[in-house]
Structure 1
């Protein structure tokens, strides 16, 4: 682990003393007498910790801390201060400084403070590694998803915009969640907006906020989602549906880092990590003039493409088991299982709706089963690969409700028996009932073997 320390102190004796003390303990130390020299050194190489006196010639120590926090957020900071300046030092700590040393301080006190910083940094690094494994818990996947997981881990802590591509229902929002949870921003806001869910005039106000009186109904100032997400992550779902006029305004925010409320004139600085998602073909949208080329290149810095569920092999089984547990617990049917035939049908289905469709199918099946086992008959006909039987759909309107239900049940059972060659167990599984219930219904409905 690197332990590079930059010391800025205008008193020569103190500067040399700090450098000798830290160097003797194995730290790599550079020291300067003013902030300008220190900032120049930071442009040439990286430092883990900056220790600076509060009072310096030229730029003050507080101003130096502000510059370093803005330009080199990964560098820790520590202040050296005289006793009367302790209040200012505490204020600096609230703004991000790790600690302060009050003159005169001993070599032991210096070493304890510096070691405490590096211990803290190591704990933080271990915590990030833990989050890297835990932050993807919501995402289930095998071999086909490993490139996606690797890219998420690689870019989670960057400020670069991310564009998540993939068919509807493949889990694009889960990618945005993982990027936020694995980043250092995870204790800040994670704001989401669906660009297709709001009309243009409301979408602009949602994004940028508005001043009182900006339009009819604007009775008070409203903070927009960009301001609310400051320091955190902003997820734009269905970015391909954003109106062209708003695309231009969004581009300006991404380029300048400033927003202006609707009806206002004062620019407001925002620092937000943006994640975009769409199921649309943005290349086609560019050709049609429905999406701005400059915005496309601005948001498509790091793309993540999700494969359709039909290309994810054994992931279907993993997701199936996950949803069985989830909805079994939600609907009071813990321990629910799935029959081999139902599982085979789910494995052989194409899933045009991807994971969202599988989730809905499993929840429906959990609700329908009464025996703790999802059977073939609990699945929709499209999944079973069946054409709907003609007779049940032809119950005459003149038939009463009770008789109509009996007629429908009778025809469904006869249809299942015909399909299974009169094998009762198979027919029962197809209908989603037990063999015992099938025998009883056959008797009640006058169906002979």
Structure 2
């Protein structure tokens, strides 16, 4: 309940929402003034009225987000809660960057809104936030489910801090996407984003990989090596699969988090660790702690702000949005434009997605590459899911063990059969080659940590040829590694 006499200013062009909010806030003891106009709201603010503002984003005369920094300039003590039916990740980020106290997606729960109002009126005044430039709406995270809305809001709040974050979730749920969003829309976006997968580095090299080494520190150390902490200076260091970090490296990482500095392998001079740490794992770290595989003190140092990414089966309402997004990405990479029929979308929603969003993206790329019809039906979707060995209602089994040749033949069979009696296909070779070439080069570049000399040798290609293919396929390149 309110302490009486506090006035809430509401701006929303939907009369029903104004009525519901006015009644709910009035019953809680607040005074309410409501308008459908941003200009009227601004006049009230300039006149010194109100103790809290609740505003919609889309209004007839002005965008509510544009009002937030203006309100903060003239009345920095007046908190603003932003509501929006445009419940995307970028809406939440823009609200936070412009200084809103809270972002609330529509439709909202009245109890939650009342709790936000009480918190906003009771909380001590925050320091001024840095309002970043508007970022292009690239939708790095997608979904309108309640679970994703909560993630949007959490990430948006964290973009104005350097707090350490622990992201947990099954494989394929998008942990690196969240880490990149924290970096790309945060205070350190001008610095580098450096990702390192703990599970992909040999145990004996992991400390050198993270902290660097001095010349002669170990056999083969012919020159000084720069570690990932130094590479990420001023930016974000993403420690993926942190649950696979060996015990000795855990001890060194804990020391860095405690003291804010590190020494290279074989070095004596401490180096300041100027990075934001974001860690991620698909493992149950509490169980790893009980088994003696992960340090409890390190867990609490990393788990300052936990973010759990839900598996796709827990947010089936997002499958349609994701599927369309992945088809658009496939088209942007040169594959034909495809659409999903309503029954195909229903079939996708019914699947349990053991591989999560990554499994869905792979399926969309196969459908775009191998099926001639522009609209994909439920039969095609069901056939591909069955072929992948994971169809059915119980989550399915993993993909069958098969050779690459068998996998390619299996995926090509329906496409070739569909064109058997129709017009000839003239680009099948190039289409299939592109599907294989892109992941092959991406995997090899990842394995060699961006070293193009090593990657070219592994592939048996001339280095100039590899560079040309990287440009043609628009593959990400780690700079400074060859």
Aligned pair in 2 of structure 1 residues 384, 290: CA closer, same or farther (>3 Å)?
Answer: closer
Structure 1 residue corresponding to 2:263, chosen from 260, 263, 267 = 260
- Paired residues of 1:236 and 1:275 also in contact (CA < 8 A): yes
Is 1:226 the counterpart of 2:229? The answer is yes
CA deviation digits over 1:216-251, x for unaligned, max 9? 111111111101111111000000000011100000
- Give the distance between the partners of 1:344 and 1:434, measured in 2 at CA: 27
Is 1:380 the counterpart of 2:382? The answer is no
- Give the distance between the partners of 2:222 and 2:333, measured in 1 at CA: 42
Structure 2 residue matching 1:137: 3-state secondary structure = coil
Aligned residue in 1 for 2:250: 247
Aligned pair in 2 of structure 1 residues 339, 136: CA closer, same or farther (>3 Å)?
Answer: closer
Aligned residue in 1 for 2:335: 332
- Paired residues of 2:214 and 2:267 also in contact (CA < 8 A): yes
Aligned residue in 1 for 2:177: 174
Aligned pair in 2 of structure 1 residues 432, 360: CA closer, same or farther (>3 Å)?
Answer: farther
Structure 2 residue matching 1:127: 3-state secondary structure = coil
Aligned residue in 2 for 1:343: 345
Structure 2 residue matching 1:147: 3-state secondary structure = helix
Aligned residue in 2 for 1:322: 325
Q: Which has the larger radius of gyration?
A: 1
CA deviation digits over 1:25-75, x for unaligned, max 9? xxxxxxxxxxxxxxxxxxxxxxx9xxxxxxxxxxxxxxxxxxxxxxxxxxx
Aligned pair in 2 of structure 1 residues 126, 245: CA closer, same or farther (>3 Å)?
Answer: closer
Give the paired residue count: 275
- Paired residues of 1:191 and 1:235 also in contact (CA < 8 A): yes
Larger RCO of the pair (alpha carbons < 8 Å, separation 6+): 1
- Give the distance between the partners of 2:360 and 2:417, measured in 1 at CA: 18
Is 1:303 the counterpart of 2:302? The answer is no
Cα deviation, residue 342, structure 1:
2.5
Cα deviation, residue 315, structure 1:
0.6
- Paired residues of 2:247 and 2:293 also in contact (CA < 8 A): yes
Aligned pair in 2 of structure 1 residues 286, 432: CA closer, same or farther (>3 Å)?
Answer: farther
CA deviation digits over 1:335-389, x for unaligned, max 9? x112333322211100011001111111111111112232323523156649xxx
CA deviation digits over 1:404-423, x for unaligned, max 9? x9xxx8xx9xxxxxxxxxxx
Structure 2 residue matching 1:274: 3-state secondary structure = strand
- Paired residues of 1:331 and 1:367 also in contact (CA < 8 A): no
Matches within 5 A, 1:399-414: none
Q: Which runs of 5+ in 2 are unaligned?
A: 1-72, 74-127, 394-408, 423-482
Cα deviation, residue 433, structure 1:
3.9
Aligned residue in 2 for 1:127: 132
CA deviation digits over 1:240-299, x for unaligned, max 9? 000011100000011111111111111111211100000000110010000001001110
Aligned residue in 2 for 1:281: 284
- Give the distance between the partners of 2:137 and 2:306, measured in 1 at CA: 19
Structure 2 residue matching 1:176: 3-state secondary structure = helix
Matches within 5 A, 1:101-140: 125-128=130-133, 130-131=134-135, 134=136, 137-140=139-142
Aligned pair in 2 of structure 1 residues 163, 135: CA closer, same or farther (>3 Å)?
Answer: farther
Structure 1 residue corresponding to 2:357, chosen from 355, 360, 372 = 355
Is 1:371 the counterpart of 2:376? The answer is no
Aligned pair in 2 of structure 1 residues 176, 432: CA closer, same or farther (>3 Å)?
Answer: farther
Q: What is the TM-score with the length of structure 2 in the denominator?
A: 0.53
Matches within 5 A, 1:410-429: none
- Paired residues of 1:286 and 1:292 also in contact (CA < 8 A): yes
Aligned residue in 2 for 1:79: none
Structure 2 residue corresponding to 1:163, chosen from 163, 166, 172 = 166
- Give the distance between the partners of 1:278 and 1:383, measured in 2 at CA: 24
- Give the distance between the partners of 1:160 and 1:329, measured in 2 at CA: 35
- Give the distance between the partners of 1:219 and 1:182, measured in 2 at CA: 39
Aligned residue in 1 for 2:296: 293
Structure 2 residue matching 1:277: 3-state secondary structure = strand
Q: Which runs of 5+ in 1 are unaligned?
A: 1-47, 49-121, 387-404, 413-427, 438-449
- Give the distance between the partners of 2:225 and 2:332, measured in 1 at CA: 40
Aligned residue in 1 for 2:451: none
- Give the distance between the partners of 1:204 and 1:195, measured in 2 at CA: 10
- Give the distance between the partners of 1:171 and 1:245, measured in 2 at CA: 28
Structure 1 residue matching 2:132: 3-state secondary structure = helix
CA deviation digits over 1:115-143, x for unaligned, max 9? xxxxxxx9x94435x34xx5772110113
Matches within 5 A, 1:390-401: none
- Paired residues of 2:161 and 2:187 also in contact (CA < 8 A): no
Which stretch shows the higher mean deviation, 337-346 or 301-310?
Answer: 337-346
